[in-house]
Structure 1
Amino acid sequence: MNERYFALLIGVNRYVDPQLPPLSFAEKDCSDLRDALGDPAGGCFHPSNIELLLGEDATTDAVETALHRTVVSQRQAGDTVLVYFSGHGFTRDIGGRRHAYIATHDVSIRSLLTNPQRGLRMDFLHREILLQGAADRVICILDCCNSGSIVPAPIRDTKSGSDGVLYAPAATLRRSADQTGTDLVDRGFLADGTGRIALVACPHDAVSRESPSLENGVFTHFLIRGLRGAASEIDTGEVTVDSLLAHVRTSTPADQPPGRYGQDFGRIVLSRPGTGRTDPSTAPIRFQISSERAPGDAPAVTPLSHHLDSSLSFCTRFRGELDRASAEQGANLDAVILRALSACAGASLTFILREERETWAVRGRSPNDVAEGNRGSLLEGAVRAIGPSLENGTLFSRFQHGIIARHPDKGEVLGVPLTSQNPREAAILCSKEAEFGIKSDWLGRLVQAVYESSRQLTSINPALIEGHALDQLKSTYGFLPKPHIDRRFELFTDRLNELIIHFEPIVRLSPTELHICGWEALARDPLSLVAPTDLFEAAKLWGVDFSTELDLKLLRKAVQSYREARSATRDQRRPEDVQDLSVNVFASTLNRAAYEDALEDILADGLILPERLILEISESTQIPMAGADRGETLARFRIRLSEFVARLGVSFAIDDFGVGEGSIERLTGLSPECVKVDRSVLQNRFAAATIQFVLQLAGQERLRPARVIVEGVDGESLLGIEDLYALGVRYIQGYVVRRAAATLGRLDREVAEALMVRLRNGE
């Protein structure tokens, strides 16, 4: 144990403010963590150096005093301090600003509206406690909702690389020439020689849950398990901040991703559960395995069941119900959804309750085969059974996806929260004189998913609803059984095959002439003619097999559609008239042999000249790690792009510049043919400074000068084309010129003339 290690553990189960529901395990979290940190068999903290502040003792004043004493006033160089909190966290909009708070026992949320200082604000904890004092290292661990708010937004928006350095996106790097060396991120988290680290249970806008089965907060359970050995480094047997976070990240549910802010500045060892002990049970036992077996000796092997196995049959049956309903003329979407839910869940009646002016009203119910009189009593009994959970807010707790209550007629009532914001809504499923056959949490999540997707549709689309339901299962639970993945891939490819391609012109600006110098191929839904964002999100969610399939299909569609559109356009038929075609691609796809082979076939077939094809790498997607750190990964990726250019002759561009991670790093590291500034930059008050910075960076002597194209220029942009032209921008895309369409052609003459007048007059 280290006499220079100190810990303050704070936990609150019950609160004075009725708006904060009681917790079950926050105080137990602290006790369990104390036992792990001070474990004689491997803990690094002496028990006398660990202070607990629990329950009614954890008032705002008491917590602030203990924090200042433990972290600031009593510490000196060489000390290491750990601060831990388990309880509620919440945010409030006060005076036009959003404040994040740690909920102390006596906090009054209403009083914060008049005096924001009456609670323990996370920015106070960050500024006045964590960044103060002489201790070499301060580790803050928060297991509460909104815990990512412990650091200011400029730090939250940075990305931590494998080397521990925080990488800031372009939005945090804007500074004038006379501000050289003055970072816009908080230097207290980056100061040389001082470690200030925050481990948080969830992002700043997310929830943290506790689990009755684990008898701890979910984050804290895996934190303690890691300290007791699950996070031990293989070579040393020690648990460090890095190894602990790696373990927690791979163990917690996908909908509660933990995070870390700050730097370690060397290894911080928190426990040594695997050192100094000899355990005979860990000695290797070696066997020689043979694939041969005696005749008739068939292996009795069955896979382990998964708690989500039956959810796929629910989705399949629900899809069948929707398919039948879609064949009915004039079918009401809400009624169809509720009827299908009833049939699949085994409910006698399903209806929606909405909060309206301190009362609850029925807003839609399933047209089940229940007599009208019986339906009324069934509905009334369901409301009576679920009523207390509506009034006290239990139903809308963010720690589960639904609750079960007993129906007065010996059946059961399933309540599923749909929206927790005003007006609150809930789906109520009634089973008369029987219990529900399905009581898993996933049923509530699927009900929510179906409702969410139906709100975005104007007509029944069974495939989209089923796909969205599977997406939500994946997003919530992470790992899914293989049949789920296969089914989602089938739906994914079916929808891909339906897409069409539209072309948006890339225009060169000039006061005397505007002309189209290239086209970007954009995927469109054939009915709505809007971008299929559901497919793009699904590709990111489900992984590289999905994103590669998307890129393969869209590449073939884009090149073939471009060839057909040119053939139908009078001044685009000759080879010398062909303009550049830009096609989007995920960075990860460029590492797949299937994409390279498809690209080679397309070029060999003469569908497009290689020098006319530009592959746009989206800035919003990560480059797959292929090295020891980000720098090495970027260098290897650059080599990969160089191989494409040398062997196939195509070019590359960076798309969506300014919205992803490492924008500047990619621009300087990849030397692209062109850089496309994302449309979101034009909605930012720093738009002019950002664009000037990109132009300057793209034109540096050590780089091949890259064309800078500003996307999304329309009538609502903060900068007009005359402003962009004055800044030095010469290429744009957007509605101000022409909307994307299935055809090519010239610019509308009147539109072009009006734009040139604006450029000449600088209006």
Structure 2
Amino acid sequence: MAPSRRRAVLIGVNQGGSDVRLPALRYAERDVQAVRGVLLDEEIGTFDDADIRMYVGAEATWREIKAGLREMALDSGPSDVLLVYFAGHALVPEWSTQLDAYLVTADLNPDALRREPDNGLRMEFLKRDVFETFAGTSFLVLDCCHAGIYLDADLRHAEAMQTYRTRVDRHSALLACRNGAAARENEEYGHGVLTYHLLSALRGGAADDRGRVSFGQMAAFVAEQGLEPPPVQLVHMWGPTTVLVQPPTSRHERRLQSSPANPSTTRPCKSPLEDQSSSIVQLLGRVFRSEAHPMRASQQRGHAERVEIVRHALDAASVAVVEFSGSAIRVADSTARFDKEELRPLLELSAADAIRYRTSMPGHIVSNDAGTRLLCVPLSYEDDRILTLTVVDPAVALLDMGEPLAVMLRALWDSNLLGDPLQAEMQVVTALRTAFGRLPLNLYEYAFSLYQKLVDSMIMVFQPVVELDLRPAGVSIHSFEALARRSDKELRAPLAALQMAYVWGDRFIIERDSLLLAKSIHSYATADADAPWHGTKPLSVNVAVRSLLSDSYLNQVSRALAEAAMHPRTLTLEISEQDAIQPGPGERWPQEPLLYFHRRLTELARELRISFAVDDFGVGYASLARMAELPLTQIKVDRAVLHHPMALEELALVARVSRHASDLGQAPTPRAVIVEGFDDAAPVTLKQIYDLGIHHVQGFFSGAVASTSLQPLDQAARERIAGLVRGEE
């Protein structure tokens, strides 16, 4: 584990820029010196001189302060601590919405702010670009007028943005007054009023029975002094426990202060997801986008180790995959400095807890008297053999994430982290959705944006539907189906990525279908322009039931067809039989579901002039009523039917249903039946299929391969297929 850094930025300005029409202060710069003195005090201080930056008087320029803060934020780790203190004036420009303010620096020019609003030290900058970026635990003290504006400093668009507000999990603040109120100096104190009581708290007024003062204790002490105006506290997760001053202690005792209260015991991972959303996003960034990512270096060598990625992300001392089998402990893979023998007592505790809790707990934490902590996440169980991901001394701030952390690590381990990091990240956030249900809004929006990128990264290939005939000349390509792939080298659909949408709900499903529909049509139009035939063959694209109920999806259909200059009759939307036709939660349909959906498809066919097909018949919600009653131009039979013991009987029934309307004179022609997933290993032959009156087959056989281009069947393929239809092979 990288050593944590405790850094402080102290800013004090008595007199602002020459055009700042505010009275000069007397004690702001003295306040900074006093705070620095306490933090560096030889008896109680917990900061090092090299880690405190002080900007006082004429040296307190907004450019230097912003550059220094931003550097610290970008160079932070999850174990780090940052304290920012400001004493001086705050300025709310006349053109401001009262939801942001500037901390007055020595070079602030209020007249220039109208033209260049970022030419100053804004509260919004502190919140958004410093504290939301800082990976560890952060604290802010504002001893200035209008300090309470900081609470809403990132909400310049007011009410509409309140819903999307992001709270920084490991950030706390002590503000001298609420928005609109004035902070005060006191000649008797020789300090700002807030700072005087803050110093009293740090010098022992708020100390616990061991002489320690945390940020939370300090803020509570100040609030109890009856100040007018009253200060504002914002104390989150680590505010109550992060110590700012303490009596001299040994290194061993310092480590114990951040250890669990009951060593050598196990505590279950808790589930504070609502308070952990920004921590989750930061952790994802350390896994997938960190500049110091070990995966970046390992890719240059052609390989990467997942355990090293986990160690880096959690700022841990070491990580290993440990197998427990009976009394035996075996290390399957590990980072450097993982010492099995030194950790054996903790590993034995971990093994006992893994057996006791088995699948009831996603992870657990064990510790010893020396303060060493092990986070253990079970990866698999097989009889008495248990495989666990064991993390030694992860950053305490991340460890407190509890159950969400364990869920993320398990999903990360099950993903293709090195081969497909984009899908792996989406798999991790989907695991959180599955485990916890409703997620905080900012995390939900993060997942939606990530899923858009994942779907947009897919490519479309086109698999031909072959029209069967007894003669080679009659064998041809009838149409194509657009299929999503992660790359042009993949033979199978990325089912896991496509089905993630169902975990998240309608918005993700509709967005997935809209993106793939547009990608399919544009790619098909490009491929068709180079095809060696005249005219455009029909194209089929998959769609979910929920998307067909969405006007935004249907607008995408019309828009994509128009942009590609493709005739609507070219397009058939295939409705999966794996989707239920029923109202969603809270919906009410005016008719019985199948009738309502029938009318919906009829209207869409008339308005959009496109066709519809039922896909995957034989699985999911397949039913004869659904197949017979919906206005479909074709029926696609799932490959599972081919491998059913009564395959021929089922295919014969589908063929009769497809002819039913035309036999009654209600349709000019039978609906086409297409058998999907046919290959050379299928137990049903092409002759048997053809003899049932089914003349269209789709699958991997005789050169009919999916490709990004549109290619005809060559003569050899047509002859072989015709021979199979005649039963000659």
TM (norm. structure 2) is: 0.57
Determine whether 1:625 maps to 2:583: yes
Structure 1 residue 347: Cα displacement? 2.8
Question: CA 1:683/1:662 → structure 2, altered by over 3 Å: closer, same or farther?
Answer: closer
Q: Distance in 2 between matches of 1:761 and 1:433?
A: 68
Question: CA 1:528/1:604 → structure 2, altered by over 3 Å: closer, same or farther?
Answer: closer
Q: Distance in 2 between matches of 1:692 and 1:588?
A: 30
**Cα deviation 1:531-584 (Å, max 9, x = unaligned):** 232331122121222121222222222111111112112324xxxx21111111
Q: Is the 8 Å Cα contact of residues 671 and 706 (structure 1) preserved in structure 2?
A: no
Structure 1 residue 480: Cα displacement? 0.8
The equivalent of 2:415 in structure 1 is 453
The equivalent of 2:624 in structure 1 is 664
Aligned length: 451
The equivalent of 1:601 in structure 2 is 559
Mapping of residues 506-585 of structure 1, within 5 Å: 506-512=465-471, 513-526=474-487, 528-529=489-490, 530-572=492-534, 577-585=535-543
**Unaligned stretches of 5+ in structure 1?**
1-298
What secondary structure is seen at the aligned counterpart in 2 of 1:420? Answer: strand
What secondary structure is seen at the aligned counterpart in 1 of 2:660? Answer: coil
**Cα deviation 1:716-739 (Å, max 9, x = unaligned):** 222121222233321110011411
**Unaligned stretches of 5+ in structure 2?**
1-231, 237-271
Determine whether 1:721 maps to 2:682: no
The equivalent of 2:461 in structure 1 is 502
**Cα deviation 1:12-44 (Å, max 9, x = unaligned):** xxxxxxxxxxxxxxxxxxxxxxxxxxxxxxxxx
What secondary structure is seen at the aligned counterpart in 2 of 1:761? Answer: coil
Q: Distance in 2 between matches of 1:695 and 1:301?
A: 69
**Cα deviation 1:246-294 (Å, max 9, x = unaligned):** xxxxxxxxxxxxxxxxxxxxxxxxxxxxxxxxxxxxxxxxxxxxxxxxx
The equivalent of 1:224 in structure 2 is none
Determine whether 1:749 maps to 2:686: no
For the aligned residue pairs, the C-alpha RMSD in angstroms reads 3.2
Q: Is the 8 Å Cα contact of residues 407 and 432 (structure 1) preserved in structure 2?
A: no
Mapping of residues 285-296 of structure 1, within 5 Å: none
Q: Distance in 1 between matches of 2:489 and 2:414?
A: 19
Question: CA 1:308/1:706 → structure 2, altered by over 3 Å: closer, same or farther?
Answer: farther
Q: Distance in 1 between matches of 2:434 and 2:697?
A: 36
Q: Is the 8 Å Cα contact of residues 579 and 620 (structure 2) preserved in structure 1?
A: yes
The equivalent of 2:274 in structure 1 is 306
Q: Distance in 2 between matches of 1:305 and 1:496?
A: 26
What secondary structure is seen at the aligned counterpart in 1 of 2:487? Answer: coil
Structure 1 residue 646: Cα displacement? 1.0
The equivalent of 1:466 in structure 2 is 425
What secondary structure is seen at the aligned counterpart in 1 of 2:679? Answer: coil
The match for 2:316 among 333, 342, 347 is: 347
What secondary structure is seen at the aligned counterpart in 1 of 2:316? Answer: coil
Structure 1 residue 629: Cα displacement? 7.7
Structure 1 residue 381: Cα displacement? 4.0
What secondary structure is seen at the aligned counterpart in 2 of 1:712? Answer: strand
Q: Distance in 2 between matches of 1:581 and 1:433?
A: 53
Question: CA 1:432/1:635 → structure 2, altered by over 3 Å: closer, same or farther?
Answer: closer
The equivalent of 2:442 in structure 1 is 483
Equivalent residue letter for 2:725: L
What secondary structure is seen at the aligned counterpart in 2 of 1:327? Answer: helix
The match for 2:378 among 405, 417, 421 is: 417
Structure 1 residue 461: Cα displacement? 3.5
What secondary structure is seen at the aligned counterpart in 1 of 2:542? Answer: strand
Structure 1 residue 460: Cα displacement? 4.5
What secondary structure is seen at the aligned counterpart in 2 of 1:740? Answer: coil
Structure 1 residue 409: Cα displacement? 3.4
Question: CA 1:308/1:601 → structure 2, altered by over 3 Å: closer, same or farther?
Answer: same
Q: Distance in 2 between matches of 1:594 and 1:301?
A: 42
What secondary structure is seen at the aligned counterpart in 2 of 1:733? Answer: strand
Q: Distance in 1 between matches of 2:558 and 2:615?
A: 23
Q: Distance in 1 between matches of 2:710 and 2:609?
A: 24
The equivalent of 2:696 in structure 1 is 731
Equivalent residue letter for 1:532: P
Equivalent residue letter for 2:425: E
TM (norm. structure 1) is: 0.55
Deviates more, 1:613-622 or 1:655-664: 655-664
Determine whether 1:708 maps to 2:673: yes
Question: CA 1:762/1:629 → structure 2, altered by over 3 Å: closer, same or farther?
Answer: farther
Quote the sequence identity (%): 25
Q: Distance in 2 between matches of 1:619 and 1:300?
A: 55
Q: Distance in 2 between matches of 1:504 and 1:652?
A: 18
What secondary structure is seen at the aligned counterpart in 2 of 1:611? Answer: helix
What secondary structure is seen at the aligned counterpart in 2 of 1:752? Answer: helix
Question: CA 1:434/1:697 → structure 2, altered by over 3 Å: closer, same or farther?
Answer: closer
Equivalent residue letter for 2:643: Q
What secondary structure is seen at the aligned counterpart in 1 of 2:430? Answer: helix
Mapping of residues 99-118 of structure 1, within 5 Å: none
Q: Is the 8 Å Cα contact of residues 658 and 671 (structure 2) preserved in structure 1?
A: yes
The equivalent of 1:133 in structure 2 is none
Question: CA 1:333/1:670 → structure 2, altered by over 3 Å: closer, same or farther?
Answer: farther
The match for 1:386 among 339, 347, 350 is: 350
Q: Distance in 1 between matches of 2:558 and 2:397?
A: 59
What secondary structure is seen at the aligned counterpart in 2 of 1:484? Answer: helix
Structure 1 residue 463: Cα displacement? 2.0
Q: Is the 8 Å Cα contact of residues 503 and 522 (structure 1) preserved in structure 2?
A: yes
Deviates more, 1:526-535 or 1:723-732: 526-535
Determine whether 1:398 maps to 2:359: yes
Equivalent residue letter for 2:721: L
Q: Distance in 2 between matches of 1:306 and 1:517?
A: 53
What secondary structure is seen at the aligned counterpart in 2 of 1:710? Answer: strand
Determine whether 1:361 maps to 2:333: no
Q: Is the 8 Å Cα contact of residues 510 and 730 (structure 1) preserved in structure 2?
A: yes
Equivalent residue letter for 1:757: G
Equivalent residue letter for 1:473: L
Q: Is the 8 Å Cα contact of residues 410 and 432 (structure 1) preserved in structure 2?
A: no
Question: CA 1:605/1:341 → structure 2, altered by over 3 Å: closer, same or farther?
Answer: closer
Equivalent residue letter for 1:348: A
Q: Distance in 1 between matches of 2:673 and 2:395?
A: 68
The equivalent of 2:212 in structure 1 is none
Question: CA 1:504/1:536 → structure 2, altered by over 3 Å: closer, same or farther?
Answer: same
Q: Distance in 1 between matches of 2:414 and 2:291?
A: 15
The equivalent of 2:652 in structure 1 is 692
Q: Distance in 1 between matches of 2:524 and 2:577?
A: 24
Structure 1 consecutive aligned stretches of length 4 or more whose deviation exceeds 4 Å: 299-305, 329-335, 355-358, 432-436, 626-631
The equivalent of 1:428 in structure 2 is 390
**Cα deviation 1:111-142 (Å, max 9, x = unaligned):** xxxxxxxxxxxxxxxxxxxxxxxxxxxxxxxx
Q: Distance in 2 between matches of 1:404 and 1:328?
A: 31
Question: CA 1:322/1:699 → structure 2, altered by over 3 Å: closer, same or farther?
Answer: farther
Structure 1 residue 474: Cα displacement? 0.8
The match for 1:642 among 602, 621, 625 is: 602
Equivalent residue letter for 2:706: A
Q: Distance in 2 between matches of 1:478 and 1:332?
A: 40
Mapping of residues 165-176 of structure 1, within 5 Å: none
Determine whether 1:673 maps to 2:638: no
Structure 1 residue 346: Cα displacement? 4.3
